[in-house]
A = this chain, B = another copy of it.
């Protein structure tokens, strides 16, 4: 028997805007940040979790996490029901009013839920991906908040899908441990980089074994044509180049702009418009159905800012996306991402997670690996974003080998930052901000 005794919170910010790492058409000067929490226990390891933000407002998320402490303190991590626990946070009627299930309160709920997963998996001695992938189909179904989903997927249908995948779990686990999970890299493509740096990093990515890179677009059309031409020349015809507009366009702009970039064969257009605009994405996808050089489709991808499972459900129902991009710290934690993985599998759409930021690579690898072993059973057209920022602040950072994420073996969710980082980058009083 153990007990959660306290929730400690931290406002951690990295001054990334000084180097223009992470710069894109909507976010010119992000200071990558984490509203970070530790679930303290009276026996054994602590649970760590965080919300990723880009600076201002990180303190608001921290206050929201503090407001959820009363839902957690006193619980026994060895007996907590992880489905009921997640629902207790998102169903509180008074806090729900502030979303519902979106914005700061939902970000905070996700951070607390993920910290509980870190804690429970550590106590079980397993990495989260393996902990999840070893649950029975019934227990996986029970993790999900099914409210608002049953017109697209029922618990019974999800159970059938999970049972159908069960016999292959062992083989896929072995394959995953042997080979890892494919990654693509965004490192070459930040808007703040000049042409020389773009070409050099694109060539380096190919040399490192990546078969897909990503470029930011959307600030200036002529610049984007030139940058995509240079990148295509650098990587050759067979490496996929995704482009990412970070919500910069209205629907007509997205279609016009992407038609102009089409000769350079972009693999997908990511966040072409507002993440809330299901019908807008569907219209863009329809307009780009034959825009690629071969007359094929330019794919539409979105998800890093999609607020919850209900919007993902609609993107799938409307045929609005070719690629679902989950984010480990945007929605209601592991539980809501399990729901989204099940929905994507139901519609046969590949999931390629958003990562980068602070610690998002660390978290989301677990979700994709669980998906491969126990849900979709496939890595076809699937890969996890990789950005080589800020991993040094984590106790068990991601490991890439041959452009694949190695399957983590350390117990927990890979969420834990070094204590020195929590001190040094504490905002506004840490030495990094002095």
Residues of A within 8 A of B (CB): 26-31, 53-57, 59-61, 63-64, 67, 92-107, 147-151, 247, 250-252, 273-280, 283, 305, 307-308, 310-311, 313-314, 317-318
Is A150 touching B99 in the complex (CB atoms < 8 A)? Answer: no
Q: Which of B105, B149, B318 contacts A57 (CB 8 A)?
A: B105
Q: Interface of chain A, helix or strand or loop or mixed?
A: loop
Is B102 touching A107 in the complex (CB atoms < 8 A)? Answer: no
Contact (A53, B100) CB under 8 Å given A310-B274, A314-B278 = no
A53 CB contacts on chain B under 8 angstroms: 94, 97-98
What are 6 A-B pairs with beta-carbon distances under 8 A?
A30-B94, A56-B94, A57-B64, A59-B63, A59-B67, A278-B279
Complex CA distance for A92 and B57, rounded to whole angstroms: 11
Query: Smallest CB-CB separation from A93: which chain B residue?
Result: B27
Q: Which of B30, B57, B311 contacts A98 (CB 8 A)?
A: B57
Complex CA distance for A60 and B107, rounded to whole angstroms: 13
Central interface residue in A28, A95, A274, by most chain B CB within 10 Å: A274
Is B94 touching A98 in the complex (CB atoms < 8 A)? Answer: no
Q: Which of B100, B101, B150, B318 contacts A251 (CB 8 A)?
A: B150
Complex CA distance for A278 and B250, rounded to whole angstroms: 19
Query: Smallest CB-CB separation from A24: which chain B residue?
Result: B93
Contact (A93, B251) CB under 8 Å given A67-B57, A276-B307 = no
Is A283 touching B151 in the complex (CB atoms < 8 A)? Answer: yes
Query: Smallest CB-CB separation from A96: which chain B residue?
Result: B26
